[in-house]
Chains A and B, each alone.
Chain A
Amino acid sequence: MTALTRWIRRNLVVIAGLGTLAYLTLPNVVVLVFSFNKPNGRFNYEWQRFSTDAWTDPCGVADLCGSLSLSLKIAVWATIGATVLGTMISFALARYRFRARPAVNSLIFLPMAMPEVVMAASLATLFLNMGVDFGFWTILIAHIMFCLSFVVTAVKARVMSMDPRLEQAAQDLYASPAQTFLRVTLPIAAPGIAAGALLSFALSFDDFIITNFNAGSTVTFPMFVWGSAQRGTPVQINVIGTAMFAVAVLCVLVGQLAGARRKRS
């Protein structure tokens, strides 16, 4: 008994940590299990019986796959927009001293320190009063706006930590400014840029609050899920949730393996 209590005491952190991990993964397990359910009514909240219907026909619900591809499209464009604009800003902030710097820094920081609902409502108020039609473009504009700060933060951290002497060395070796940028600066900044891009893709794809205010009658995937919570959730939603989880884990694993191999060689 004392041996057991001693073991528990010594591993208390591990036990508590694994408990939190279980709390974090539990809903994903539920989503996976209920993707094989055959619900009786419109709602997929209670287990009835096993079925693979939803997996064999993931687009069997009207509008579901349409909203999914719209979300993907918006996420891709928002990522491109936010990554290009954000990388430019972070190079300016990391490399140059100029008078407007503190002001720019706070303008970058503020969107991250603001509740989403405030940004969402004020942008929608502006669009409304300018008579802009809500839809694809207003969603895209809003997504680029809130992803921008995250890209800047990710890229800036990387560029700040890079040794400026590397570029001086390249220039000493008669590299042209363009060559220095493409062969030295960009490769070093690349992991930061990739992290920023990945983050904005995930944020844009999953965003609900800002989209809710600025979408009009356009339905993105999160909007579809939100609507289905009231109307009745099709099992296909669980299928897509599970597939997203699997794809993400696979990507991360492949990235990890590639990284490990590169380190070894």
Chain B
Amino acid sequence: MSVTATPEAAPDDGPAPDAGPVQKPPLIKPAVRKRLVPYWLLLPGILWLLIFFAAPLIYQASTSVQTGSLEEGFKVTWHFQTYWDALTEYYPHFLRSVLYAATATVLCLLLGYPLAYLIAFRAGRWRNLVMILVIAPFFTSFLIRTLAWKTILADSGPVVGALNSLHLLDVTSYLGITEGQRVLATPLAVVCGLTYNFLPFMILPLYTSLERIDPRLHEAAGDLYARPITTFRRVTFPLSMPGVVAGTLLTFIPAAGDYINAELLGSTDQKMIGNVIQSQFLRVLDYPTAAALSFILMAAILTMVTVYIRKSGTEDLV
């Protein structure tokens, strides 16, 4: 680790020839050694990512065009048909994943924004406590918390009872997001679980960007006779856009690939693409199809993310 101790060059003005007043007598090849320092620092970590992240993706690509069986082994036969078959058979799962993840993302934004705003501007001395309450649920295993939703949404539970007495279940059944007198094993339950699980990923970036806003800007807007809603629409919200973009990405991407909520809170009618990949890989053992499906998912998400980042004009996000 002591190799890191020679960074005389300031990071922001490129190659710095002036390395400070205390120069040691020139050795044979100090320049070369110094130029190699970042590479030595990078080497182990980058190798790890190349071998266990990048190489598997490439390997996955080759698997997706293989044919064969478990007994005879798989061979690369450039069988692109797998992609077509996977798409035609599982496009409902893809659509459902995008729909559920997008709904959960919008709900997270609607639910998370007031809380992030509350922590940033209104919590005062309670700020730390509220912050702890946002982060702490992270630490109870999220599978356990997702299972807890089974209790909350149970047929004889309080949520179903309340919705029933308000006759809201009739409305939601009509809209097709619940079935009959149940909430569990319906799209509503899955979206509720997804929203819940990824809400902190929305709140934290929102809070970070809201916290940076100078509260005097609100006062200034007020002094200029802007109503609170106008101040929010014209000042606060635009300034929080980096947080909105980061939060929606952090929510949408994992939600689209998730299979835990659909498995625990949904029924076979709510299976998402993650469930299909999981069962193709771990149960059916059809590796080419699993590979093709995960490639389609990856491509779809990367495309959507790129378009979204372009459109929202925050390319300096990374």
**Chain A residues at the B interface, C-beta cutoff of 8 Å:** 12-14, 16-21, 23-28, 30-31, 34, 45-46, 85-86, 88-89, 91-92, 94-98, 100, 104-111, 113-119, 121-126, 128-129, 141-142, 144-145, 148, 152, 160, 164, 167-168, 171-172, 174, 176-178, 180-182, 185, 202, 205-206, 208-209, 212-213, 221-222, 225-226, 229, 233, 237-238, 240-242, 244-245, 247-249, 252-253, 256
Contacts and interface: CB of A to CB of B under 8 A. Distances in A.
B9, B11, B143, most chain A CB atoms within 10 A: B143
Given A45-B154, A46-B154, A241-B145, A172 B22 contact: yes
Contacts of B305: 113
Nearest to A252: B132
Contacts of A247: 139
B149 A27 contact: yes
Given A115-B301, A126-B56, A164-B11, A148 B45 contact: yes
A95 B11 contact: yes
B281 A213 contact: yes
Nearest to A34: B151
B200 A24 contact: yes
A21 B129 CA distance: 11
A171 B282 contact: no
B137 A24 contact: yes
Contact of A94 (B11, B46, B119): B11
Contacts of B249: 113
The A interface, classified by DSSP as helix, strand, loop or mixed, is helix
6 contacts: A115-B274, A122-B56, A125-B59, A125-B290, A181-B5, A221-B141
B239 interface: no
B15 interface: yes
Given A20-B111, A104-B46, A89 B41 contact: yes
A16 to B, nearest CB: 4
Interface string B52-69: 111111011001000000
Contacts of B96: none
B39 A241 contact: no
A13 B114 contact: yes
